[in-house]
Chain A
Amino acid sequence: MSPSSADLLRQVKSEIDEIDPSQVNELLQEGVTIIDVREAEELASGLLPGAKHVPRSYLETRIEGITPDRSAHIILYCASGNRSAYGARTLRDDLGYEHVESMTGGIALWKDRGYDVDVPRTLTAEQRDRYSRHLLIPEIGTDGQQKLLDAKVLLLGAGGLGSPTALYLAAAGVGTLGIVDDDVVDLSNLQRQVIHSTQRVGIPKVDSAEESIHALNPDVQVVKYPVRLDASNIMEIIEGYDVIVDGVDNFPTRYLLNDATVRLQIPVVSASILGFDGQLSVFKPYEGPCYRCLFREPPPAELAPSCGANGVLGVLPGTMGLLQATEVVKLILGIGDPAIGRLLLYDALAATLTEVKVHRDPECPICSRPPEEISDEEMGVFPDYEAFCAAAG
């Protein structure tokens, strides 16, 4: 007569070695290999500290990747100690592992005894689905997606450059997007500022952007700053962000931002656009040049097209904003070669991308000195450009 499931379990448990949670707790620091054989969806409430996860059904195929050493001390556990008992027998009888034990009572008993668990950073089923095309790329995978979800990126402006950047970073699952913009949506914005919409003309851009971001990806936390960035608020706003996306439309703020980000050592992905031309570079303080190394001082008003209303091809901020978003993702993930020390010049009419080198200036007034020596008084300092622009009309 065939044995019942209960008979089989009793028999297997009698043949293998079991170990009590109290003994496992004492062995935690001693380099034993602990394997959780539950399914992925059972892990949310925690694993034993340092445990590796190999579902029971993959145990035979993956164990050698964990430890090929047949004499290694291996402890298996599951929810209550049954699946790990079968697993222990398989490792010993079929694969020749000599020192395998199954933890009595599983993680349920472990927790009842009050021992520590590591709560894993796991993606929800919905996140695994949403980000599945990222998870399939070896350079991203679950760890990379988790980095994106943990990342805090500040967008200066929800305008031409900020619109595509915000949408794609939100879609990519960047967990926190700060947006600084004190403007309201205008009909003339909609030729290029695709995060806004016709129905939202007249409402603050930060609110309009938040609505689009949440509609696209509710995972993203939006932090709204409906203010103009200036010397009085910049340090407070930018501190704590991992990357800043610079799409500001005026030189005073660009220099102020540069000086503040060098001081706080926050990388800036910078782009600018005019007509059919775009520029892009990544300024990573002390690893590469800063904005002042590239342009020691701003041009006079007659050579500064940002002072007045100037035309721009509507799709150009899309192109440049997405190059910025790409650089942001690379910086967060730590992959590839960001455009540090390089300025990319995109000419949309010619369909050419030219690259020039940008060097750190050993005499740079800001980044040639340690960050703690950059004072409040000198941040963003140069002749009063805003007044100059106003005078120039």
Chain B
Amino acid sequence: MSIPGNHSAVAKIKIPPVLRPSVGGEREVSASGGNVGEILRDLADSHPATADQLFAEDGELNRYVNVYLNDEDVRVLDGLDTAVGDGDTVVILPAMAGGR
């Protein structure tokens, strides 16, 4: 859905527990792209089982999934268009309710 930018960065993605089975059990994976959307698309291409959990049918992020670039919510930045630099960390965070 987004056109690759002029540069491509390699970022770390922190995978939440519910998505780990979809990425072979890894807690952290690398992905490349010029912005958050491209990084997440790269993740979804490498691990197709994550796609439905991350993206709604319209290509936007699902509302129950928060994505942070380093410590900031991408919704208060430029959303999926937020530029990513080398070494940045993308945190994927779905709601969790376990307490017992």
Contact = CB atoms under 8 A, between A and B. Distances in A.
Nearest to A275: B17
Interface in A322-364: 343, 345, 347, 349-350, 354-359
B93 to A, nearest CB: 7
B53 interface: yes
B66 A295 contact: yes
Contacts of B14: 345, 354
Contacts of A312: 98, 100
A55 interface: no
Interface in B42-91: 53, 62-66, 68, 71-73, 76, 91
B95 interface: yes
Contacts of B71: 354-357
Interface string A181-208: 0000000010000000000000000000
B89 to A, nearest CB: 8
Interface size class of A (residues with CB under 8 A): 35 or more
A295 B95 contact: yes
A225 interface: no
A249 B63 contact: no
The residue among B68, B76, B94, B95 with the most chain A CB atoms within 10 A of its own CB is B95
B24 to A, nearest CB: 15
A66 interface: no
Nearest to A278: B96
A272 B64 contact: no
The residue among A189, A247, A356 with the most chain B CB atoms within 10 A of its own CB is A356
A254 B98 contact: no
A286 interface: no
Interface string A16-59: 00000000000000000000000000000000000000000000
Given A299-B64, A345-B91, A354-B91, A248 B27 contact: no
A143 to B, nearest CB: 33
A305 B91 contact: no
A326 B94 CA distance: 25
A361 to B, nearest CB: 9
Contacts of A209: none
Contact of A250 (B17, B72, B91, B97): B97
A119 interface: no
Q: Is the interface of A mostly helix, strand, loop or mixed?
A: mixed
A288 interface: no
A167 B97 CA distance: 22
Interface residues of B, number: 25
B27 A160 contact: no
A221 interface: no
Given A298-B95, A356-B91, A274 B100 contact: no
A106 B41 CA distance: 82
Nearest to A160: B100
Given A277-B17, A356-B72, A296 B91 contact: no
B64 A347 contact: no
Given A349-B27, A354-B14, A157 B98 contact: no
A217 interface: no
A149 interface: no
A273 B73 contact: no
A294 B66 contact: yes
Contacts of B91: 345, 354, 356
A303 B63 CA distance: 13
The residue among B27, B64, B76 with the most chain A CB atoms within 10 A of its own CB is B64
A297 interface: yes
A271 interface: yes
The residue among B62, B72, B73, B100 with the most chain A CB atoms within 10 A of its own CB is B100
Contacts of A277: 16-17, 96
Contacts of A162: 99
A343 B17 CA distance: 16
B29 interface: no
Given A303-B53, A354-B14, A248 B99 contact: yes
17 contacts: A160-B99, A189-B100, A247-B99, A247-B100, A275-B17, A277-B96, A279-B96, A296-B64, A299-B94, A299-B95, A306-B97, A306-B98, A306-B99, A312-B100, A349-B27, A354-B91, A358-B73
Interface of B: 14, 16-18, 27, 53, 62-66, 68, 71-73, 76, 91, 93-100
Given A299-B94, A345-B91, 9 more contacts: A159-B99, A247-B99, A277-B96, A294-B95, A303-B94, A306-B97, A312-B100, A343-B93, A354-B71
